Structure 1
Amino acid sequence: MNIDLGGAAGPDGWPRPGCRCASCARLRTAGIGHEPARILIDGVPPAEHAHQEVPGGFDVRPSPGRRVLVARGPGARPEAVAGVVYDAVLLDLVGCPDHLGLLRRTGAVGAATEVLNVYADHRVPSPAELERRLGFWLPPRRGPHRTLLLGGARSGKSAEAELRLMGDPDVTYVATGPARGDDPEWNARVDAHRRRRPHWWATAETTELARELTSGAGAGSGALLVDGIGTWLTAAMDEAGAWEDPARVEPRLDELIAAWRSTAARVVAVTDEVGLSLVPTTPAGRAFRDVLGHLNQRLAAESEEAALVIAGRVTELS
């Protein structure tokens, strides 16, 4: 079976005619253009093969024993036919990357399924950024693999962590800062994170981070998103009574590093880059900054990947 994409952009192409957004302007300046998607399966458009409509797209049968799931258009989430493992899927990964995770979760996309992106457009900043994201989603990834994402407040580091795991079928979101009944602003932030992530992700609200890294998903059955290290350290220092004597929290830090090193999971963890913060005005604040900065260095040293997120832009750290 041969799938040919004569074009892979949205219906209006990329850049979109007359659009002044940064994404379209960037391509236009570079003299680059991507044509609207023209999908051919064995030389024939999908609609000319035997097929059935499914919510969000088409289940195509180009030849006996072959099945292809095709998204109807941008933003569409084609539903798989129950019990079918597709030979190929053509999906809007720019707009719906989490749909790939769901199809993997339900078994419709297997290890041998060819996954192709269609309908790319200015919803992503550039072709280079699209390729970066596809690198996280298209190849099925397994652990152990650790990624540490650093950034300042409201830098976009949590959104980047979620983005990296959208194609995974089994994700546990480890929230180290659970809701606080007496803090409406904090609870609103927690609720915003919950609404943003896929509904089938599991959630563990806990400060027992070392245990999560070495059991369940941490033992290799899925992926973990840890958000974040700073709130975990706050709880650990509280429990250890370490605000006046930071040495008291060292055993917890050693336990975390040992679990981070030995986990079998794919882990993406979010932490605060203390160098981007104001100099603390209290001894306790300075103690927290120093401990977190040292902990970040230890985690980064044990990570396959580390990146800095600023204003939603990502810089990989070698």
Structure 2
Amino acid sequence: MPDQRTLILGGARSGKSIAAERRLASEPEVLYVATGGDDSGDAEWAERVAKHQARRPATWGLAETIELVPLLDAAGPPLLIDCLTLWLSRTMDALDIWSDLGCAGLVEDRIADLAEAWSRTPRLVVAVSNDIGSGVVPADPGTRLFRDLMGRLNTTISLASDQVLWTIAGRTLPLT
């Protein structure tokens, strides 16, 4: 199937999620995979989530998880994964990387597992991810590690994708 695996990159609030939703709009059933987790009483985060929910068709399912490999390995409707950036931060949290930055190899193993599942998935899948590496070099080691791992994650998934798109200011361009 051509363009079975699509990665949509861009900066914050660039229109990535809307572009992903549009790519799957004609599908009768989609599983929206939210990687953001609990809002923990954060009103601004809850508002963002509500806007995403309001845009999605009522026929779309929802999975709130960072366990992407089992979803990618299973048969089923198309997946919209929003987003890999939150997947990375929550994976780093789950592995307690912030307290021992030297354990970053554990995250790299998870990235490799994700890329393998992405490559073999039987499903139509669109994932959204932030490109955060074009700015200044972060001042602290933890943020530098996150930026570097984000770059590795995006590169790894990009190279395993059939199509990669760049979204900026609401415009989506193919990367070839």
- For this structure pair, what is the TM-score category when the shorter chain's length is used for normalisation? over 0.9
* CA distance, structure 1, for counterparts of residue 42 and residue 135 of structure 2: 22
Shift of 1:242: 2.1
Q: Higher RCO, 1 or 2 (CA under 8 Å, sep at least 6)?
A: 2
Equivalent residue runs for 1:148-167 within 5 Å: 148-167=7-26
* CA distance, structure 1, for counterparts of residue 79 and residue 136 of structure 2: 30
Q: Does 1:239 align with 2:94?
A: yes
Q: Does 1:265 align with 2:123?
A: yes
Q: State the identity %.
A: 44
* CA distance, structure 1, for counterparts of residue 84 and residue 105 of structure 2: 18
- 1:171 aligned to 21, 30, 34, which one? 30
* CA distance, structure 1, for counterparts of residue 16 and residue 134 of structure 2: 13
What letter is aligned with 2:165?
A
Shift of 1:283: 1.0
Contact 1:152–1:276 (8 Å) recurs in 2: no
Unaligned runs of 5+ in 1: 1-141
- 2:51 aligned to 162, 167, 192, which one? 192
- Paired positions, count: 173
Unaligned runs of 5+ in 2: none
Contact 1:241–1:248 (8 Å) recurs in 2: no
Which has a greater percent of helix? 2
* CA distance, structure 1, for counterparts of residue 54 and residue 134 of structure 2: 28
Contact 2:166–2:173 (8 Å) recurs in 1: yes
Shift of 1:277: 4.1
Indicate the residue corresponding to 1:297 in structure 2. 155
Contact 2:133–2:148 (8 Å) recurs in 1: no
What letter is aligned with 2:33?
V
Contact 2:37–2:64 (8 Å) recurs in 1: yes
Indicate the residue corresponding to 1:286 in structure 2. 144
Indicate the residue corresponding to 1:252 in structure 2. 110
What letter is aligned with 1:164?
R
Equivalent residue runs for 1:201-240 within 5 Å: 201-215=60-74, 219=75, 221-240=76-95
Indicate the residue corresponding to 1:145 in structure 2. 4
After superposition, the C-alpha distances for 1:231-269 in whole angstroms (9 at most, x for unaligned) are: 000111111222312222122112111110110001000
* CA distance, structure 2, for counterparts of residue 228 and residue 248 of structure 1: 20
After superposition, the C-alpha distances for 1:275-313 in whole angstroms (9 at most, x for unaligned) are: 344432221111000001011001000000001000001
- 1:314 aligned to 159, 172, 175, which one? 172
Equivalent residue runs for 1:5-154 within 5 Å: 145-154=4-13
Classify 1:278/1:192 alpha carbon distance in 2 versus 1 (closer, same or farther; 3 Å).
farther
- Of 240-249 and 147-156, the range deviating more from structure 2: 240-249
What's the secondary structure of 2:12's corresponding residue?
A: coil
After superposition, the C-alpha distances for 1:2-53 in whole angstroms (9 at most, x for unaligned) are: xxxxxxxxxxxxxxxxxxxxxxxxxxxxxxxxxxxxxxxxxxxxxxxxxxxx
Indicate the structure (1 or 2) with the bigger Cα radius of gyration. Answer: 1
* CA distance, structure 1, for counterparts of residue 63 and residue 136 of structure 2: 31
TM-score by length of 1: 0.52
